[in-house]
Amino acid sequence: MRQVDVQKLADEARFNGFHGVVLLWCALIIVFDGYDLAVVGIALPSIMKEMGVSPANAGFMVSSALFGMMFGNVFFGTVSERIGRRWTISICILLFSLFTAAAGMTKDPISFSVTRFLAGVGIGGVMPNVIAQMTEYSPRKIRSMMVTMMFSGYSVGGMIAALLGKGMIESLGWQSVFFAAGLPILLIPLILKSMPDSMAYMIKKGRMHDLQRIVARMAPDHMAQSGDQFVLPKQQKVDGAPIRQLFHHGRGFSTVMFWVACFMCLFMVYALSSWLTKLMAQAGYSLGSALTFVLVLNIGAVVGAIGGGWLADRFSIKWVQVSMFLMAAVSIVLLGQKMDTAWLYVVVALAGASTIGTQIVNSAYASQFYPMTARSTGVGVMLGVGRAGAILAPILIGVLVGMEMPLQLNFLAIAVPAVLAALATALIQHGRSASVQQDAAQTVVDGGLGLKRAAARQ
């Protein structure tokens, strides 16, 4: 009986139609996710006017989804290891689509906040699962780029919300952009039919026939033999609760460093998205419409994410990420300096590339750091901890803005976390990564086989 390492097959496979299908579904799901999160910001002025809420209450209404995302990141990141990613992703789509649409039927701030919290659970829950899914099924040589390309759909969703939102709200009312978010529910049957489950999950459940079909599509060059037994590499196997595995085999310190980097990065992302327009207006710049700003920030994020992923596949992903964090520190500090509007947009794009873009690279790095059977959990818990930074940022920067400090100091406060995130990333023990350990083990095996062949020839 021959043992076939499914992770090695995935690593060495050539990109084909199967990979394209996985990429398409994961990217499309993230586009829906990004739309659902961004749509509130687009509709907020109309909601405030109709419901008669104060800015303070409006801030709570927006933040309710962030609290839901924190819960969803951790809960569904862990649950997927037990019920499979296919069903977990489908449940999350149902949650964020149904409750975002339901928010369009609310008449008061409390019911709106409750529906947004529940939608946030789905928005947050789907993220670690599609990241883990894309990591698992991507060829090794282009893995980081495929993950970052997929996750760039998050910014595309924000751009779609910005482009469609204004026209729909003016002609159909603010409720229309929320009702439109319910359409992805129609795709759930197709996702359940065409989205593969995790290979580790199929092995765990003894679904070898299903795994054979996936392997035939993923690696058509693989010559199957009767009696083949699909297995995981020793380095990818874990025993016990997945969340416990984040601290086993010397991964504990690096796990905390991933949390710190994620916290700091999400702090920057939400500080900029919440206060950049206000700070620039106070500085006397004419930024034009908020639509243009949203597009520039998100275009920069897409370029930064895909570019960062491309570099990470060719150089060390750890040091690519450190470099991007340092670029974030420089670009954010530059936002506090007087410059022409054209140059300001360039710097805003760089800030988007090195904050939102770097967070996407960070998620790709974390997904490669943990073994396959704890991957969704590792990314989910990291995003859950980091979400606290997203919640804290608008509040803390708002306090600084209220103190009427010089513009440069406000941006310096946003830039400091970039330096801390760079330091945390530099301290990650890359040698503890499951992918590195798997490579080392495979080198030993290949070397042993080479010695045996040499001995046989003699």
Q: What pLDDT, on a 0 to 100 scale, did the predictor assign at position 118?
A: 94
pTM for the model stands at 0.75
Residue with tokens 């919290």: 117
Separation between Cα atoms, residue 391 and residue 271, nearest integer Å: 9
CA distances from 43 to 40, 68, 165, 168, 260 (A): 5, 19, 7, 10, 32
Residues 172 and 305 in one domain: no
Residues 152 and 250 in one domain: no
- In this prediction, residues 203-220 reach a mean pLDDT of 85
Residues 95 and 175 in one domain: yes
The answer to whether residues 145 and 302 touch, using CB atoms and an 8 Å cutoff, is: no
Q: What pLDDT, on a 0 to 100 scale, did the predictor assign at position 201?
A: 83
Q: Which of 17-31, 75-89, 220-234 is the least confident region?
A: 220-234
What are 410's two structure tokens?
Answer: 């406000």
- Please, which pLDDT band fits residue 102 given cuts at 50, 70 and 90? very high
CB atoms within 10 A of CB 62: 18
Residues 66 and 186 in one domain: yes
In a domain, 2, yes or no: no
CATH number of the domain at 99, please: 1.20.1250.20
- 3-5 and 229-231 as β-strands: parallel, antiparallel, unpaired? parallel
CB atoms within 10 A of CB 15: 13
CB atoms within 10 A of CB 45: 13
pLDDT, tens digit, 9 for 90 and up, residues 31-58:
988 888 778 777 777 887 888 877 667 7
Separation between Cα atoms, residue 229 and residue 16, nearest integer Å: 24
Range of the domain at 300: 240-458
In a domain, 234, yes or no: no
pLDDT, tens digit, 9 for 90 and up, residues 417-430:
999 999 999 999 88
Q: What pLDDT, on a 0 to 100 scale, did the predictor assign at position 329?
A: 95
Q: Which of 87-91, 102-106, 315-319, 439-443 is the least confident region?
A: 439-443
Q: Is the model's pLDDT at 234 over the cut of 70?
A: no
- In this prediction, residues 149-160 reach a mean pLDDT of 83
Q: Which of 162, 151, 153, 146 is nearest to 359 (CA)?
A: 151
Domain C-terminal end among 192, 220, 248: 220
In a domain, 53, yes or no: yes
- Please, which pLDDT band fits residue 265 given cuts at 50, 70 and 90? very high
Residues 66 and 35 in one domain: yes
Residues 306 and 207 in one domain: no
In a domain, 226, yes or no: no
Q: What pLDDT, on a 0 to 100 scale, did the predictor assign at position 43?
A: 79
- Please, which pLDDT band fits residue 371 given cuts at 50, 70 and 90? confident
- Please, which pLDDT band fits residue 350 given cuts at 50, 70 and 90? very high
Residues 184 and 259 in one domain: no
Q: What pLDDT, on a 0 to 100 scale, did the predictor assign at position 296?
A: 82
Q: What pLDDT, on a 0 to 100 scale, did the predictor assign at position 387?
A: 84
Residues 277 and 162 in one domain: no
Domain C-terminal end among 220, 252, 267: 220
Residues above pLDDT 70, as percent of the chain? 85
Higher per-residue pLDDT: 387 or 91:
91
Separation between Cα atoms, residue 458 and residue 449, nearest integer Å: 14
Q: What is the DSSP letter of 69?
A: H
Q: Is the model's pLDDT at 313 over the cut of 70?
A: yes
- The partner residues of 229 in beta bridges, in order of sequence, read 3
Residues 42 and 72 in one domain: yes
Residues 57 and 178 in one domain: yes
Q: Is the model's pLDDT at 448 over the cut of 60?
A: no
In a domain, 311, yes or no: yes
In a domain, 233, yes or no: no
Domain C-terminal end among 220, 249, 273: 220
Q: What pLDDT, on a 0 to 100 scale, did the predictor assign at position 34?
A: 83
In a domain, 227, yes or no: no
CB atoms within 10 A of CB 363: 28
Separation between Cα atoms, residue 128 and residue 315, nearest integer Å: 24
- Please, which pLDDT band fits residue 458 given cuts at 50, 70 and 90? very low
What are 190's two structure tokens?
Answer: 């197709």
Residues 296 and 400 in one domain: yes
- Please, which pLDDT band fits residue 242 given cuts at 50, 70 and 90? low
Q: How many domains does the chain have?
A: 2
Q: What pLDDT, on a 0 to 100 scale, did the predictor assign at position 233?
A: 65
Residues 176 and 278 in one domain: no
- In this prediction, residues 161-173 reach a mean pLDDT of 80
Q: Is the model's pLDDT at 441 over the cut of 90?
A: no
Identify each DSSP E strand in 149-278 by its residue range. Answer: 229-231
Q: What pLDDT, on a 0 to 100 scale, did the predictor assign at position 440?
A: 54
Residues above pLDDT 90, as percent of the chain? 21
In a domain, 355, yes or no: yes
Q: Is the model's pLDDT at 75 over the cut of 60?
A: yes
One-letter amino acid at 150 equals: M
Separation between Cα atoms, residue 325 and residue 425, nearest integer Å: 9
- Please, which pLDDT band fits residue 454 given cuts at 50, 70 and 90? very low
